[in-house]
Amino acid sequence: MENQANPQLSFIDRLNKWFRTSISVKMVIVGILILILLIPTSYISNLVWERKQRASEVVTEISDKWGKEQSIGGPVLSIPYTFDYQDDKGVKYVGTGYAHFLPKYLEVNTQINPEIRKRSIFKAILYQSESKISGHFGALDTSIFKNIPRQNIRWSEAFLSFGLSDMRGIGNTIITKLNGAEYQMNPSIPTNQLFSEGVSMPVDLVDSNNVGFEFATSLTIRGSQNLNFIPIGKETRVTVTSEWDSPSYDGAFLPEKKDSLTRGFKAYWKVLDLNRNFPQSWLMDRNDNGVSSNSKFESTSGFYPQFANTAFGVRLIETVDEYQKNERSVKYAVLFVFLTFLLFFFVEISQKQRLHALQYLLIGAAVCIFYVLLISLSEHIGFDSAYLFASIAIVSLISAYIKGITGKFKLAMVIGAMLSLLYIFLYFILLSEDNALLIGSIGLFLILSTVMYYSRNINTIAK
């Protein structure tokens, strides 16, 4: 009827009018705009990753100067011996091997004193730990020497050693008591078969009739985030206490018991020799790679691989990780752009108020700016406060923009309320990490149901 009333409209004019009024064309344009907005969304995702990497670099820089993640192993009693061997050309050599003996009982009581160090807007979790290590060695199992000539066993060169993953963190002179007598530990270990770094002291073993001895030492070390222990005792008991409220228990063994204190935590471990894959005593003249015992084995922890595989301990974590939550929120950016455009699409066809493609694009840009605001603010005021300020700012901006386009205050308020519900929905998904999939799927189902209900007569609404 409209074309009959305007017979003078040219084909170009009719085509232009169809483009401006067709719902199908508008849907295609909105879809193209969503694809265009994928570009800034990917840049925002990269921005989050870059800020997270920068924070990680700062933590590494601070830890390098203070002390890295720490692992404590020992004490181990080692006795050197000599053996004959020859190379591929038949040339004979005399090599040195070591007999290693582990304690019958090991008890470790550790107090972790955490602190936060900041550099610019970034921060690192550091600690200073006070460990009291005690226990005893039983009578040595000399049966492991059955194939070693007696004169080759160098009893007078025996030594006791402790392994530490980062020597720079040592904060005190280490004094070890053997049967009540005090001895000072020295830096380095005669062999790195078990520990790449650590301290040691000579032990005077007169002969193989040694009946064992008690030991006790105190160790103060600085480190960052992690503190691990190696269960080298036939029975190992470890107790860790700290004022830190959010511990994470890492490694091969979980605590047998843990208590939540008024401020902090207390955790207990008990590990038996049957729970691990190495014996109480053994000979090593070559390591697992078949390399001479003087060579350093490759291990990221600085410990003998079988030791490293049984390490356990505590990680001091932050309950709120701004970058992790920002990463998760950015993953919903495209969905939020789509839902926002869908909202304005229905407003457009129901209110007979046509929006230009540029206006859609600007609204989509505002949604993307929300994530930039969220990242930058969360580095200064925390994620929750940043989310509140960023969402209020963007909802207010878009609502004011709609008021300026349509001149309808009530419509702007309705759109603001709907956008607020969307941001509240996203916040609860981010807040409940364990139930995020359940909440998200139920929420999307309800949104889809609502859209399907209101779009059932879309042609009628659009006329």
Q: What SS3 state is found at 347?
A: helix
116 within domain boundaries: yes
If phi > 0 it is left, if psi is from -120 to 50 it is alpha, else beta; for residue 135 that is left
Backbone dihedral angles phi then psi of residue 356, each to the nearest 5 degrees:
-75, 155
Q: How many CA atoms lie within 13 A of 251 on its CB side?
A: 25
Q: Are residues 214 and 99 in the same domain?
A: yes
Please report, as a single letter, which amino acid is at residue 170: I
Give the C-alpha separation, 183 to 203, whole Å: 10
Beta bridge partners of 105: 136, 235
Counting DSSP H helices and E strands in the chain, the numbers are 12, 17
295 within domain boundaries: yes
Q: Are residues 244 and 98 in the same domain?
A: yes
Task: Identify which of 412, 448, 417, 258 has the alpha carbon closest to the alpha carbon of residue 339.
Answer: 448
381 within domain boundaries: yes
Q: How many CA atoms lie within 13 A of 134 on its CB side?
A: 8
Residue 320 confidence (pLDDT)? 56
Furthest-apart CA atoms within the chain: distance in Å? 119
The burial of 329, by beta-carbon neighbours within 10 Å (0-12 exposed, 13-18 middle, 19 or more buried), is given as: buried
Indicate yes or no: pTM above 0.75.
no
Q: Are residues 147 and 173 in the same domain?
A: yes
Residue 382 confidence (pLDDT)? 82
Per-residue pLDDT of the chain (463 residues), as tens digits, is 444 445 565 655 555 555 555 666 667 777 787 788 878 888 888 888 888 888 778 777 887 788 888 999 989 999 999 887 777 777 777 888 899 999 999 999 999 999 888 777 777 888 999 999 999 998 888 888 888 888 888 888 899 999 998 888 888 899 999 888 889 999 989 988 899 899 999 988 764 446 788 999 999 999 888 899 999 999 999 999 999 888 889 889 999 988 877 788 999 999 999 999 899 999 987 543 333 343 344 444 578 888 989 999 999 877 656 777 888 788 888 888 888 887 877 777 766 677 777 888 888 888 888 888 988 888 888 888 888 999 999 999 988 988 888 888 888 888 888 888 888 888 887 777 667 677 777 877 887 777 677 666 655 545 5
Residue 119 confidence (pLDDT)? 76
Give the C-alpha separation, 142 to 121, whole Å: 58
Backbone dihedral angles phi then psi of residue 277, each to the nearest 5 degrees:
-110, 45
Q: Are residues 413 and 445 in the same domain?
A: yes
Task: Identify which of 401, 443, 398 has the alpha carbon closest to the alpha carbon of residue 420.
Answer: 398
218 within domain boundaries: yes
59 within domain boundaries: no
61 within domain boundaries: no
DSSP strands (E only) in 88-121:
92-101, 105-119
Q: Are residues 352 and 413 in the same domain?
A: yes
Beta bridge partners of 126: 115, 224
Give Cα 73 distance to the centre of its chain. 24
Q: How many CA atoms lie within 13 A of 210 on its CB side?
A: 22
To which residue do tokens 């066993």 refer? 153
Q: Are residues 234 and 177 in the same domain?
A: yes
Q: Are residues 310 and 326 in the same domain?
A: no
Q: How many CA atoms lie within 13 A of 373 on its CB side?
A: 18
Give the C-alpha separation, 425 to 450, whole Å: 15
To which residue do tokens 């000399």 refer? 142
Q: Are residues 117 and 175 in the same domain?
A: yes
Task: Show which of 316, 351, 377 is a domain's final residue.
Answer: 316
Residue 174 to residues 42, 59, 131, 197, Cα–Cα distance (Å): 53, 28, 11, 15
Residue 5 to residues 2, 8, 302, 369, Cα–Cα distance (Å): 5, 9, 88, 47
Structure tokens at 41: 């969304």
Alpha helices in 269-382 (DSSP H): 305-308, 322-330, 333-351, 357-381
Residue 407 confidence (pLDDT)? 81
Task: Identify which of 4, 10, 25 has the alpha carbon closest to the alpha carbon of residue 349.
Answer: 25
5 within domain boundaries: no
Q: Are residues 348 and 429 in the same domain?
A: yes
- The torsion of the CA quartet 71, 273, 294, 96, rounded to 10 degrees, works out to 150
Q: What SS3 state is found at 207?
A: coil
- The torsion of the CA quartet 150, 154, 156, 157, rounded to 10 degrees, works out to -160
Task: Show which of 316, 337, 359 is a domain's final residue.
Answer: 316
Which one-letter DSSP state was computed for residue 76?
A: E
164 within domain boundaries: yes
Q: Are residues 80 and 137 in the same domain?
A: yes
Q: Which domain holds residue 164?
A: 68-316
Beta bridge partners of 109: 132, 239
Which letter, b or e, does each residue of 239-267 get, where b requires 16 or more Cβ atoms within 10 Å of its Cβ?
A: bbbbebeebebbbbbebeeeeeeeebbbb
Q: Are residues 299 and 182 in the same domain?
A: yes
User: Domain count of the chain?
Assistant: 2
Residue 444 confidence (pLDDT)? 73
Q: Are residues 205 and 98 in the same domain?
A: yes
Residue 22 confidence (pLDDT)? 60
Task: Show which of 265, 293, 316 is a domain's final residue.
Answer: 316
